[in-house]
Amino acid sequence: MKNKVGISIFRLTLLCFIPIMFVQSNVLAAKPLTNNTTDKLSSESSEEMIFRDPWLAYEALLTQEVQHNNSNTNNYLWWLVRKAQAENLLYFYLKFDQTLALIKPLLSNQVDNEIQARYYFYQGLSVQRQGNYKQARGLFEQSMSAAEKVGNNRVYIRAKQELAYTYSLADLYDTSLKDLQEAFVEAFAIEDQYLIATINETYGAIYGYMNRYKRSLEYYQKALDTYERLNYKAHIAEAIYGLASTYRYWKKYDQAIVYFKRYQEAVNYTPNTNISYFSAYGLGMTYAEKGDCVNALTYIDQAFALKGLDDYDAELYKRKASCHITLGELNKAELAIKASEAIFDTMPELLGTAWELENQKIRGHLAFAKGNFKLAYQTLEQYYEAYSQALIDNSTSRVNNIRASLELERQEVERALSKQRQKATDLATENREQKAKQQSYIIVFLITLLVVVIIVVTFQYKHNIQITALTRVDPLTGLYNRRYCFEKLDALLEKTIIDKGALTVILFDVDDFKAINDLHGHPIGDKVLVEIAKIAEDSCRPGDIVGRIGGEEFMCVLPRTDNEQGMKVAQRIRQSFEMSAFRDDSQRRISVTASFGVCTTTEPKTKASALYAKADKALYAAKLAGKNCVKDSSIS
């Protein structure tokens, strides 16, 4: 779904969800549980058995089915909690929801807070699958609150990790990373390998959303290695699916196909054959993006024959529409895109996101295929405007959140150190004769902890710097992006009266760029844009601002440059384009020219928007004058 211009980051890499296929099981006569049996159900060993072999554990639970009565409510609830846990890992989501429905009316102030914490956690997973992310966040927060009351760190951290993941599903990546970092610090402090693996898995998903594919694969692989050591079958399958999806988004389609097929084998632990929806989904999407529409449509139809999630189906319909356009089956393409739009209409939290906006882009391609070029142009123009605005809206608070995350992390470190000092004090009071020995152990421990924390802080700080850079730089050309160019232009215009100099803006647009894409393909078009960016940057001074402000349109901001100098720079760049040897994959020369608009101002109160509008007007005049020329429209 996402290309180098920044088109949407797809979010379907983690925690694959499908509805249940009913499982037939013979249940033995009900046996009342003793307190000893209840203790076993609530123990970590019971959870470990479910993680290692959920189907075997589920069958064992069914043979011990408990009938509810007033004397053993907690016994019954613990049995339901473990049953729901196994059903969740087996993808028996209909039975999972039915089990949660049995728990809900029995919750009260007298019920164990640990049971409440687990119920809210699983209920959060259920509504998260339905796309109700706001309600899911509230349930995970309730789970954290109940878990904190009984000191259950595992449930607390697991709920916080799922809370962070839920934020990422709604494009709130900064909030997600902040919560996830807090969960990581806490999981690391208690040395829980399972929790660290689930957090690494979520990091893999989020970095995938941010186009950091290499980093995403590293985190998924860490999670997979841990799950394989623990032999947690369901989690192994999920991590493999995450690796497959990341390879797909990175456009390494052959590796993606290998991992999706490996995922098909990994889910054999569950008797639910409907789980094959996700392998069919992944293979259908991968073949479609690879350009193999025949195989793509085969797997997409296989996925539709099974029962999947609505938002996954919406993505399949989009790929199906694109394939039908490629194959010239335009009526089928129309039906597919309508189906995708209908699904998004039922999911208000996704309206206006990159995934929903992509429908508009496909409609533009469909209009072009039908020969309605004016409608195609208008539709695609509206799509890119809406998508650009969505990117701006999502990134406005990013820098502040990154700065705040360091302070939050410092507070977590201080709290961890405080707990360790208190523990040292308590140990010294209980056994004074070993005080010297204990103090030496504590000092070594604190130094080790501090070193680890410094490493974690340094690692996260570098990540934050990289994330900040993403808000300034165009990912394809490496030039500054539109937002940064206009911010710097505003700042320079405020200084114009102080410097008592002129300021010149050069706006240029590649001539007939669409024809280059159509004739040579989009990868060659991207290559041309990268070479153009380098030529423009090399033609300017170190202090000048050179940026890509959209599509094939670029801007140069030249401080302390009058109109005559600005015109010379524009002519120099234009001539460099005209003389450069742009070539396609077959080393055939591609003729590339550009039209330029120049605007100079010495007025101290000039607005950036006015200066840009003047330059744009001059650029338009250059286009009308036959292209490959420079026009001026300066402010006197």
Residue 63: pLDDT band (50, 70, 90) is confident
Cβ proximity of 588 and 535 under 8 Å: no
Q: Identify the residue whose tokens are 């050591």.
A: 229
- pLDDT number for residue 34: 47
Ranges 44-58, 168-182, 352-366: which has the least confidence: 168-182
- Res 457 pLDDT > 60: yes
CB within 8 Å of 494: residues ≥ 6 apart: none
Residue 563: what residue type?
A: N
d(CA 263, CA 493): 57
CA–CA distance from 599 to each of 18, 344, 481, 499, 532 (Å)? 57, 44, 20, 18, 21
Question: Region 161-174: what's the mean pLDDT?
Answer: 75
pLDDT in tens, 473-505: 999 999 999 999 999 888 888 876 545 678 999
Quote the tokens at residue 499. 């410097």
- pLDDT number for residue 204: 87
Domain 482-632 in CATH 3.40.630.30:
no
- pLDDT number for residue 393: 67
**SS3 track for 399-458:** HHHHHHHHHHHHHHHHHHHHHHHHHHHHHHHHCHHHHHHHHHHHHHHHHHHHHHHHHHHH
Q: How many alpha carbons fall within 13 Å on the CB side of residue 319?
A: 32
Q: Identify the residue whose tokens are 């209920």.
A: 123
- Res 528 pLDDT > 90: yes
d(CA 154, CA 197): 13
DSSP label of 585:
T
DSSP label of 272:
-
- pLDDT number for residue 201: 87
3-state SS assignment for residue 575: helix
d(CA 510, CA 518): 14
- pLDDT number for residue 466: 62
Helix axes 373-395, 354-369, angle to 10 degrees: 170
Range 468-476, long-range pairs (CB < 8 A, 24+ positions): 468/398, 468/399, 468/402, 470/210, 471/395, 471/398, 471/399, 474/547, 474/548, 475/4, 475/5, 475/6, 475/211, 476/4, 476/5, 476/526, 476/529, 476/530, 476/548
426 alpha-carbon distance from chain centroid? 44
Ranges 23-37, 231-245, 525-539: which has the least confidence: 23-37
Residue of 158 and 236 predicted with greater confidence: 236
CB within 8 Å of 355: residues ≥ 6 apart: 1, 8, 10, 11, 311, 314, 315, 344
Ranges 15-19, 319-323, 516-520: which has the least confidence: 15-19
Residue 330: what residue type?
A: L
Q: How many alpha carbons fall within 13 Å on the CB side of residue 211?
A: 15
pLDDT in tens, 263-293: 888 888 888 777 778 888 989 899 988 889 9
Q: Is 326 exposed, middle or buried (0-12, 13-18, 19+ CB in 10 A)?
A: middle
- Res 15 pLDDT > 50: no
Residue 623: pLDDT band (50, 70, 90) is very high
Residue 557: what residue type?
A: V
- Res 193 pLDDT > 50: yes
Q: Identify the residue whose tokens are 């939050």.
A: 408
d(CA 606, CA 590): 39
- Res 398 pLDDT > 60: no
Question: Region 389-401: what's the mean pLDDT?
Answer: 57
Residue 14: pLDDT band (50, 70, 90) is very low
Residue 636: pLDDT band (50, 70, 90) is low
Residue 549 dihedral angles phi and psi, to the nearest 5°:
-105, 5
- pLDDT number for residue 556: 96
CB within 8 Å of 556: residues ≥ 6 apart: 505, 506, 508, 536, 540, 544, 545, 546, 569, 573
- pLDDT number for residue 133: 82
Domain boundaries, the chain: 398-470, 482-632
Residue 145: name the closest of 117, 118, 165 by CA. 117
pLDDT in tens, 589-619: 999 999 999 999 888 778 888 899 999 999 9
Residue 246: CB atoms within 10 Å: 28
Cβ proximity of 270 and 306 under 8 Å: no
- pLDDT number for residue 600: 92
DSSP bridge partners of 545 = 557
3-state SS assignment for residue 504: strand
pLDDT in tens, 89-99: 888 888 889 98
Percentage of residues in the chain having pLDDT higher than 90? 24
pTM over 0.75: no
Residue 221: CB atoms within 10 Å: 16
Residue 402: pLDDT band (50, 70, 90) is very low
Average pLDDT for the chain: 80
Quote the tokens at residue 387. 């998508």
Cβ proximity of 153 and 81 under 8 Å: no
478 alpha-carbon distance from chain centroid? 21
3-state SS assignment for residue 361: helix
Angle at 355 between CA 317 and CA 215, to 5 degrees: 110
Q: Identify the residue whose tokens are 């809370």.
A: 163
Of the residues 289, 385, 552, 578, only one is catalytic, namely 552
Rg (CA), the chain: 29
Residue 202: pLDDT band (50, 70, 90) is confident
- pLDDT number for residue 418: 62
d(CA 633, CA 597): 7
pLDDT in tens, 217-251: 999 999 999 988 988 888 998 899 999 999 998 99
- pLDDT number for residue 619: 94
Query: Does 552 qualify as catalytic in the annotation?
Result: yes
3-state SS assignment for residue 215: helix
- Res 413 pLDDT > 80: no
Cβ proximity of 308 and 277 under 8 Å: yes
- Res 397 pLDDT > 50: no
Residue 429: CB atoms within 10 Å: 9
Residue 124: pLDDT band (50, 70, 90) is confident
Cβ proximity of 289 and 248 under 8 Å: yes
Cβ proximity of 502 and 561 under 8 Å: yes
d(CA 214, CA 466): 14
Quote the tokens at residue 16. 């694959």
Count of residues making up the chain: 636
CA–CA distance from 67 to each of 33, 39, 64, 457 (Å)? 9, 17, 10, 51
Residue 565: pLDDT band (50, 70, 90) is very high
Question: Region 335-340: what's the mean pLDDT?
Answer: 89
- Res 128 pLDDT > 90: no
- Res 18 pLDDT > 60: no
> Strands 630-632 and 545-550, how do they pair?
unpaired
> Strands 594-601 and 630-632, how do they pair?
parallel
Quote the tokens at residue 50. 């479910």
Instruction: Write the DSSP string, 525-569.
Output: HHHHHHHHHHHHHHTS-TTSEEEEEETTEEEEEEET--HHHHHHH
Cβ proximity of 161 and 194 under 8 Å: no
First-to-final CA distance of the chain:
46
